[in-house]
Chains A and B, each alone.
Chain A
Amino acid sequence: MADEGAGERPPKGPDPTDAELHERLKSLETRLGRAKRSDEPDAPKADGSLSGSAFGRAVRLSSELVAGVLVGGGLGLGFDRLAGTKPWGLIVLLMIGFAAGVLNLVRSAGLTGSGKNGGSGSPPQS
């Protein structure tokens, strides 16, 4: 901040005039406005924007897929035990679970245009 102001200020000499002060105040206002705007986006962003690090992103995406398959398999096993339809419930629900995993994966990568899950049609961010 200090070095930005230093360029505009004369190093020695008379006090700055009113016009100069006014000018400086204006530039400060525009800069503050810019900083505020970048801080507070109006619309919720896709969570693809949290790409803090590639590593975090990789772990996040892979766990989505694994969780989908696990939940599908678990539901399938439970359904089979209740309904006695071994092994069809497991087979069908495992596939559905895989589909759900891929859906979650694509969504959390911010690639869908479906207006849900924060994906609301925003372009993919990497």
Chain B
Amino acid sequence: MADPIQQFEIKTIATLGKIGPYDIALTNSGLFMLAAVGVISLLMILGARSRAMVPGRFQSLAEVSYEFVANTVRSSAGKEGMKFFPFVFSLFMFVLVLNLFGMVPGGFTVTSHIIVTFVLALLVISTVLIYGIATHGTHFFHLFVPSGVPMFVLPVITVIEIVSFLARPVSLSMRLFANMMAGHIALKLFAGFVVTLGGLGVVGFAGAILPLGIAVAITALEFLVAFIQAYVFTILTCIYLHDALHPGH
């Protein structure tokens, strides 16, 4: 049976140079990221080109994605959150397109590597920290000191608040990574059952029907998960940005 982990293997496509002992290489992961950026840019450029009153195919796709993200930002981060719209929109489109690339047969799922999702989450958290401290100064740290707490439990609560803040990038990245990886492994396993059982003759054919049905159902579920996880990533980004805009009120 095919190895279900093999699909996550990083392969070097071209080596561009060296820094110390490390290769600077274009991997399949990097290639898919570049492709995602290319596809998103193409969609937006084609969508913005005609600027028709009655939108065409690309334009309505671009408009739908804009409206969707803009509504998410407005409802979760508030009106002032719209200054972060370009950032949030880029994140959403990047994660969504990478998730969907993973659904192309033979494709590589970049978001199934925790280092990728963790760097994206770090980007979000450092934006929150830098913007929060730059605009609110020390007032930003009121985020960790809730008001109306008795003095004698305040130190404990503050430590818990700090740890819970530190847990945010971890949970943000782990959620996306775990979902994508688990889904793809499950898909590969059931598809592998079909092939193995199919090779066993008539009895195998009958036995392969059930895993085949499950594989089809998981494929549909994975499309849903690809979308939902991109959305969850976006909405949590907005909620954290909301904290940066209005710390501890």
Which A residues are within 8 Å of any B CB, using their own CB? Answer: 39-41, 43-45, 47, 50, 52-53, 55-56, 59-60, 63-64, 66-68, 70-72, 75, 93, 96-97, 99-101, 103-104, 114-118
Contact = CB atoms under 8 A, between A and B. Distances in A.
Contact of B232 (A56, A97, A99, A100): A56
Nearest to A103: B164
Given A47-B76, A115-B249, A116-B143, A71 B235 contact: no
A44 B78 contact: yes
Given A44-B75, A50-B232, A116-B248, A96 B168 contact: no
Nearest to B71: A39
A41 B46 CA distance: 31
Interface string B234-249: 0110010011000011
Contacts of A43: 78
B186 to A, nearest CB: 13
Contacts of B164: 68, 100-101, 103-104
Nearest to A120: B249
A100 B146 contact: no
Interface centre among A40, A55, A63 (most CB of B within 10 A): A63
Q: How large is the interface on B (under 10, 10 to 19, 20 to 34, 35 or more residues)?
A: 35 or more
Given A116-B143, A116-B243, A100 B167 contact: yes
Interface of B: 71, 74-78, 143, 146, 156, 159-161, 163-164, 166-168, 170-171, 174-175, 178-179, 224-225, 228-229, 231-232, 235-236, 239, 242-243, 248-249
Contacts of B178: 59, 63
A60 B175 contact: yes
A50 B76 CA distance: 10
10 contacts: A52-B231, A55-B225, A68-B171, A71-B167, A75-B163, A93-B163, A96-B159, A100-B163, A116-B243, A116-B249
A21 to B, nearest CB: 24
A117 B243 contact: yes
Q: 10 tightest A-B contacts by CB?
A: A67-B171, A100-B164, A100-B163, A67-B170, A63-B175, A71-B167, A56-B228, A68-B167, A67-B167, A118-B239
A85 to B, nearest CB: 16
A114 B175 CA distance: 25
A53 B249 CA distance: 31
